[in-house]
Amino acid sequence: MGGMGTIHDDNGTSIYEQNHTMTLNLLKATNVPDTTDTHFFYASSACVYPEALQTDCDVSLREADVFSEGIPQPQSLYGLEKLNSELLLAQYTSKINIRISRFHNIFGPGGSWNNGREKAPAAFLRKALACRHLIGESQPVPDFEIWGDGCQRRSFLFIDDAVDAIIKLLPSTHSTPINIGSDNTVSIQELAELALRCAGARANFIYDNSKPVGVSARNSTNDVSRSALDWAPSTSLWEGMEKTCAWIQVEMDTYLAHHEKRAEQLTFAILLPITSRGSTEPGACLSHLRNFVQSLKDTTWRDTHPSADQVFRYVIYLAVDADDHFLCGGNRAYQTILDLGIPSIQVHQLLNSTHPKGHVCNIWRDCAPQAYDNGCDYLVLMGDDVTLKDEGWMRKSHSAFLNFSKSSNLPLGLGCVAFTDESFPGMPTFPIIHRTHMEVFEGQVIPDTFTNQDGDPYLFQLYRRWGTSTMFPCRLTNAIGGPGEARYEKKRTVDWSLAPLAHAERMVSAYLQTHHNYSSSQVRDVRKLTLDVIIPCYRVDVAVLSAVLSLEAPSTTSVNYIIIIDSPTSPQIPTILSQFSLNPNIRIRINKSNLGAPYSRNRGLSESSADWVHFLDDDVVPSPNLLFAVSDAIRANPSAAGFVCSTQFPPANIIFTTAVHLSGVTYFWDIATKIKTDVPWGVTANLVARRVLFSPHLEQESNPEFCGIPLPTKFSLSYPKTGGGEDIDYCLTQRATHLELFRSANDHNCGEQYPGFLAAPQGIVTHPWWDNGKRSYWRFHRWSVGDGHLIKAYPDLSYRDYAPNSAECFLICFIFLSIGVVIGSLRVMMLSVEITGCVVLANILHDVYRHMILHPERTKPLNVTRRIRRNIFLWVSAVMESALIRMFSELGRLRGLLEKREWKSVGKRFDWFVGRAPENGPRAEERRNSVERIGLMVVVFAILRGLRG
């Protein structure tokens, strides 16, 4: 319910969605059988009538007029929703007794009168009573504001008459919409004069044409209500206004009695840099400034009203470049603000004479101390080309800070509130901070390292660590800047989320201990664990992403999501943006072209500012407790380099998926269930890595000042963008870097006890079979191309094999075949083909021997359906196909070596267990298998030769 201050176009979408959802929920809640014993009353509105009919002064609206203009054209989305709900209810008339009233401006005692939702009669009576109260105090005749020119006409129905009509409508047989309203119109000007007479007051009328006014005229025709209900209004407008005025007078007296001691006034400092540079014409900046100041007035008018529960005021700190001759000449910017009605006492002008143009963060740093010294309670880091859109942002941001303090057990003021920036969805721009922040940082609002970018997210992410940052639902738009071009050269602050953020966090911790007597353990308790989930996204599957983004997390952990879309032409991108981009916990970035998973993960790392990052693939299905399991693992083992979680596959129910398991391709996907400590590596489908080495909640007793050494580990781009090898390389680099920093930070040798990557087997995701299990070997071949590069990159983790593998045998056969072609020897060519066939056959036979005779127990843990296991034909077929997959993978590794011209690496193998398995383990077995396969190949060749005789 609300007047034109609530029901207008800016609120249309949300009002439509909320109202229609409520109606649908009520219909579902009835849950009645097919009976006509149930009555369902629906309160509709005169806003359903076409706007085109409501332009003449003498308009009277009949129930049938809704469709008189052809396609209905109700007033605003509010009216459209009411009409659609009427049509929806019409579908239920055979099951429920539907009664629908179209109300025309109901007023009277008990209604809204001072909260922004009041209609014109109550609003005018409140203003009239306030005028009577003000006469003789501040001015002889106070002002009385009317929205519009006062010529718009309405009819108003007293609440008692409305109730009488409802009581008659319910037992009637009238099931179609019916007008319930007065059929006597009055102009808004006349209504205002009537309100003053009721209150016994005088006033000067002022008119604000910038406010919403609705249609020109509206009146009810009551022919149907008279004939169907024998009803007509019995209370005159004068009588209804008198009764309502008396009631509001009592309400106001009660209110004032409880607020004799006016609430303390809170001051918001608007830090406002302005420049004329970069605009198409110098005067454009003043146009932006006028828009901003007008929006500032429009969105704070209630908060700055003396009758508000908590009174707020704002002061503008206008910062102009000293050499901006256009603005400085005649103090144009300053004068523009005064011309818009802002008192000079609320405007402070500062000249920027020390910083280069466009150094917005430097200017904020100049303004903030002055605002703090002047006693301002809140600081708003603003821009001159911003338009504020939602009324009440001052009281709502203050309420957010109060809630922060209550929910986090932290002192009031430790926090950051950011506007919802419609021009840069999801980015916490233009933050609001408390003067406490200035106390913590000794008068500096943001560090010197920031020039004109990243100061906003820095503040937001700092207080995210304490659970006291939010993007509240008060909107703004930014005319220039955001993700696009700005009027100045954007200068990013490199690695601000590492050392600068860690230093700031340490200062907050020190402030709590020195100024509020927090112990180190108390600081750790109130500090949240921060985790960023990074998802390189090529498939752009909305359903899969929705499942991940809806995961619940512990209240002690702050989780953000960073989605890097690597398919910029995907048709699903608009859907993703519309569903998730406004969520401050979800950041969506789009690569300009398909750059691959390693690049996308690196971009995600550069966007991250958390203690830990959690890499997920864009096709996994997470278990509901995934983030709980990860958080538990981190808190139980805070010194680990990272955690390898468990990635499962659905049961293999066909030959190919069974063969994938048997080939060893999926062995390391669930390595967390096989190795608990110092896990060799894990796949990035479900991998957690430390981003910063230690934070205040992980301090060492021996070194309490130590805090936050960054781990600069990134994915190497030397591996194929389709994947392969980069996950192993990342884990090894992360472990080595962390070990080195861990040792230097703790100043002792921790090599033997160093945990490296630990297993987190409870953190489970399910990875679907690629292409739903469709047979293809090329995926594994491409991965192996990247794996081959590991041999040269990690020579200490590589070893020389005793015999060539299948790929190297194929290479030898190809060389002999080429020689045969060159010399024209058919015998050499045929011999090469025969040996190739023997290599294939020998590898298949050897894998059948390994899986079915030598080590059948190794296949028992594989997630394979009973149908496959019990059918000997299917099982043998899967074993044979697994040999083909393995040979394709070996060909991929050889291809990778040859393409990079790493000739010396041919014949070498990479140790997948990276030296952590016994020497007589996987290395020895791999060498033995190679020798056995070569031997078997010779035997097969000899047998075939013997058979040929």
- pLDDT score, position 14: 77
**3-class DSSP state of 433:** strand
Answer whether residue 695 shows pLDDT above 50: no
| Contacting residues for 539 by C-beta, under 8 A, at least 6 apart | 567, 618, 619
Residue of 610, 599, 609 whose CA lies nearest to 564: 599
Range from 139-143, 220-224, 763-767 that averages highest in pLDDT: 763-767
CB 527 within 8 A of CB 551: no
Q: How far is it, in rounded angstroms, from Cα 62 to Cα 59? A: 10
Say which amino acid occupies 751. Answer: G
**Is 78 labeled as catalytic in the residue annotation?**
yes
Say if residue 444's pLDDT is above 60. Answer: yes
pLDDT of 473 reads 85
Q: How many CA atoms lie within 13 A of 106 on its CB side?
A: 23
The owner of tokens 């058979």 is 947
Crossing angle for the helix pair 826-849 and 806-823, to the nearest 10 degrees: 170
Q: Is residue 482 pLDDT above 70, yes or no?
A: no
AA identity, residue 555: S
Which pLDDT score, from 0 to 100, does residue 309 have? 64
In angstroms, rounded to a whole number, what is the distance separating the alpha carbons of residues 413 and 438?
A: 10
Which pLDDT score is estimated for 484? Answer: 46
Highest-scoring range by mean pLDDT, 52-56, 769-773, 920-924: 769-773
CB 869 within 8 A of CB 875: yes
Angle between helices 922-948 and 806-823 (to 10 degrees): 40
Say whether pLDDT at 747 is over 60: no
pLDDT digits (tens, 9 = 90+) for 548-565: 999 999 999 999 999 999
Average pLDDT over residues 326-336: 78
Q: Work out the pLDDT band at 384, boundaries 50, 70, 90.
A: confident
Note whether 177 and 100 are within 8 A (CB): yes
DSSP 864: B
- Tens-digit pLDDT profile for residues 821-836: 999 999 999 999 999 9
Pairing of strands 612-616, 686-690: antiparallel
* Residues 615, 723 contacting (CB under 8 angstroms): no
CA distance 752 to 735: 14
Confidence category of residue 787, pLDDT binned at 50, 70, 90: very high
More confident residue, 159 or 27: 159
Local confidence band at 702 (pLDDT 50, 70, 90 cut-offs): very low
Q: Which of 20, 262, 64, 82 is nearest to 179 (CA)?
A: 64
Confidence band for 417, pLDDT divided at 50, 70 and 90: very high
Q: What is the pLDDT of residues 355-365, one digit of tens each?
A: 666 678 888 88
Task: Give me the residues paired with residue 558 across strands.
Answer: 530
Neighbours of 302 (CB within 10 A): 17
Under DSSP, is residue 533 helix (H, G, I), strand (E, B) or coil?
strand
The set of long-range contacts for 246-252, using a CB threshold of 8 Å and a minimum separation of 24, is 246/109, 247/108, 247/109, 247/110, 248/109, 248/113, 248/122, 248/125, 248/126, 248/129, 249/129, 249/199, 251/113, 251/114, 252/126, 252/129, 252/130
Residue-level pLDDT at 618: 95
SS3 87: helix
- Residues 283-330 pLDDT 10s: 788 888 899 999 999 999 888 876 656 789 999 999 887 777 777 766
* Confidence check: pLDDT of 522 > 50: yes
Catalytic site residue from 78, 317, 518, 561: 78
User: CB within 8 A of 916, min separation 6: which ones?
Assistant: 678, 680
Mean pLDDT score across all residues of the chain: 88
pLDDT at 490: 63
Secondary structure letter of residue 98 according to DSSP:
E
Return the pLDDT at 304: 87
Residue 630 reports pLDDT greater than 80: yes
pLDDT at 654 over 70: yes
Predicted local confidence at residue 416, as pLDDT: 96
Is residue 516 pLDDT above 70, yes or no? yes
pLDDT, mean of residues 888-914 = 94
- 616 and 541 in contact (C-beta within 8 Å)? no
pLDDT at 8: 62
pLDDT tens readout for residues 57-95: 677 889 888 888 778 888 888 889 999 999 999 988 888
* Mean pLDDT for the stretch of residues 485-490: 52
Q: Copy the structure tokens of residue 270.
A: 């608007």
Task: Measure the CA–CA gap between 539 and 527, rounded to whole angstroms.
Answer: 36
pLDDT at 748 over 60: no
Global pTM reads 0.70
* Rounded CA separation 172/168 (Å): 7
Q: Which residue has the tokens 């990690």?
A: 794
> Worst-scoring range by mean pLDDT, 28-42, 52-66, 367-381?
28-42
DSSP secondary structure, 429-497, as one string:
-SEEEEHHHHHHTTT-SS-TT-SSSSHHHHHHHHHHTTT-EEEEEEEEEESS-TTS--SS-----TTTT
Rounded distance between C-alpha atoms, residue 471 and residue 585, angstroms: 9
CA distance 430 to 248: 39
DSSP H helices, 754-871, are 778-787, 790-793, 806-823, 826-849, 866-870
| Tens of pLDDT, residues 122-132 | 999 999 998 88
